[in-house]
Chains A and B, each alone.
Chain A
Amino acid sequence: MTDKKSHPSLLGATLAIVQKDLAAEFRSRELFSAMLVFSLLVIIIFNFALELDIDVRRTVAAGVLWTTFAFAGTLGLNRSMAVEKDRGCMDGLLLAPVDRSAIFFGKAISNLVFMLIVEAIVLPVYALLYDEMRIFQPGFLGVILLGSIGYIGVGTLLSTMSVQTRMREVLLPILLFPVAIPVLLAAVKASNGILTGAEWAEIVTPINILILYDVVFLAVPYMFFDAVVEE
């Protein structure tokens, strides 16, 4: 039979989902507010908890930041998929005649945008509270970007699975944190290396791990997302 119906491209469907998510979120600000408030609270609590000398503070900077981003990101991932599931909208997406990996890429890009906006606000606050202006160097920001892509990539995939269950809020961190350990460790090591002025040879391995992780967790959903959302 001749297929006369048009089908949107992977890129077209991905952009439609991103635009939809951004429009809905900038109107409600539910997800963004939760992530931002949580992040700022963590940064402030660490500020009081780590009343240490300046050198010690510098050594823990990467750990504090990535702990904050990881937990805030998990909040956002849970909320982002719950919006689709609670009103049956995931079925609406699955019913569209598009490559289903467009749903993954659309949700992942939206989640990444929200996480990057939160990071863009948290980093200056961190710099002020901790008197740490070196976090604005391009290398450090590049590691933040690479780490965020990897974390959101694997997080979006796992949140698609966990949202199908009744214990989704609990299940996502339980599934996500063990799988995300390589990306979080590599991100902390690379960030710390850049902040302490380490040699390139010390930093290149964790950066390579980050790049590899990003590629793997963008390629795997492209191939298998259909099976993940299938009943």
Chain B
Amino acid sequence: MIEVRKLVKRFGLKTVLRGLDFTVQPGEFVALLGPNGAGKTTFLRILASLSRPSLGEVRVAGYSLPNEAAQVRARLGVVSHMPLLYPDLTAEENLRFYARMYGLEDQSARVTEVLEMVGLEKRRGDLVRTFSRGMQQRLAIGRAVIHDPEVMLFDEPYTGLDQDASEMLDEVLKSVAARGRTVVMTSHDLARAEDLATRFDILSRGVIAASTNQAELKNTNLLAYYKQALAD
């Protein structure tokens, strides 16, 4: 579903990604871990077609970036630590706006379905600026799945959430992944990543330094594996 070969990204003289290779099979939930400045967000922005690769080949859902970016964007949902929502619109108006931007046909039914999925159907008429951070993040996930994407990218979705809001987000993330979508999530919350993901890739110094999966982690835990990978 995602194929990345020899990806290089430079900002001026600074090279952030240094020949990165990365492959994700359909239905996989990959946690992309790494220290601050490792290039996780830059990598996700390239996958999301928000940034151009300097060198290398990137294919998402069978389409090449940046040449077929519109086709990729139609199959992609992105959630970051920012909600990408308009505070002076209601929850329903926000989703309806994005439904129009994705050219959905039965917008009312889809908006209602998504509001129910993220547990905000009773607050559909409330302005987003009256929502807590946790509610905004749930609505942000609703925005990202409004067009039923095949691939989901989550960039630090737990940033700024309290414990209750994080647990609610866990449930929403599980339901998103349970629909067979391919998910790539960056996070510093290793416990949550271990609980949600099926595969764990460590991004360090612009390349995937190590990769493991749930089955291989039986004899150790993710924190120990992560520390070992960064130490090597």
A residues touching B (Cβ–Cβ < 8 Å)?
A: 1, 3, 5-9, 12-13, 16-17, 19-20, 23-25, 27-28, 83, 87-89, 91-99, 230-231
Contacts and interface: CB of A to CB of B under 8 A. Distances in A.
B19 interface: no
Contacts of B51: 230-231
The 7 closest A-B pairs by CB, nearest first: A88-B82, A8-B103, A92-B84, A96-B101, A97-B74, A5-B74, A16-B100
Nearest to B144: A95
Name which of A13, A88, A95, A98 has the most chain B CB atoms within 10 A of its CB. A95
5 contacts: A8-B100, A16-B97, A23-B89, A87-B84, A231-B52
Contacts of A97: 70-71, 73-74, 102-103
Contacts of B52: 230-231
A224 B144 CA distance: 27
Contact of B80 (A5, A91, A94): A91
Contacts of A231: 45, 50-52
Contacts of A95: 48-50, 73, 76, 78
A229 to B, nearest CB: 9
B125 interface: no
B105 interface: yes
Interface string B121-139: 0000001000000000000
Interface string B77-109: 010101111111100010001101111110000
Contacts of A230: 51-52
Contacts of B127: 27
Contact of A5 (B45, B71, B89, B93): B71
B103 A7 contact: yes
User: Which of B87, B88, B89, B93 has the most A CB atoms < 10 Å from its CB?
Assistant: B88
B26 interface: no
A176 B97 CA distance: 30
Contacts of A24: 86, 88-89
B88 A96 contact: no
A5 B85 contact: no
B181 interface: no
A6 B99 CA distance: 11
Interface residues of B, number: 36
Given A23-B93, A96-B101, A230-B52, A88 B80 contact: yes
B83 A13 contact: no
A40 to B, nearest CB: 24
Interface core residue of A83, A87, A92, A94 (most chain B CB under 10 Å): A92
B134 to A, nearest CB: 16
Contacts of B74: 3, 5-7, 97
Given A6-B103, A6-B105, A93-B101, A20 B80 contact: no
Nearest to B104: A6
Contacts of B143: 92
Contacts of B62: 1
B87 A98 contact: no
Contact of A91 (B78, B88, B97): B78
Interface in B36-67: 45, 48-52, 62-63
A94 B50 CA distance: 7
Contacts of A87: 82-87
Contacts of B110: none
Contacts of A13: 100-101
A223 to B, nearest CB: 17
B147 to A, nearest CB: 8
Nearest to A21: B86
Nearest to B51: A231
B83 A88 contact: yes
Given A1-B62, A13-B100, A230-B52, A20 B89 contact: yes
Contacts of A7: 70, 74, 103
B6 interface: no
Contacts of B48: 95
B100 A12 contact: yes
A13 B83 CA distance: 20
Nearest to B148: A5
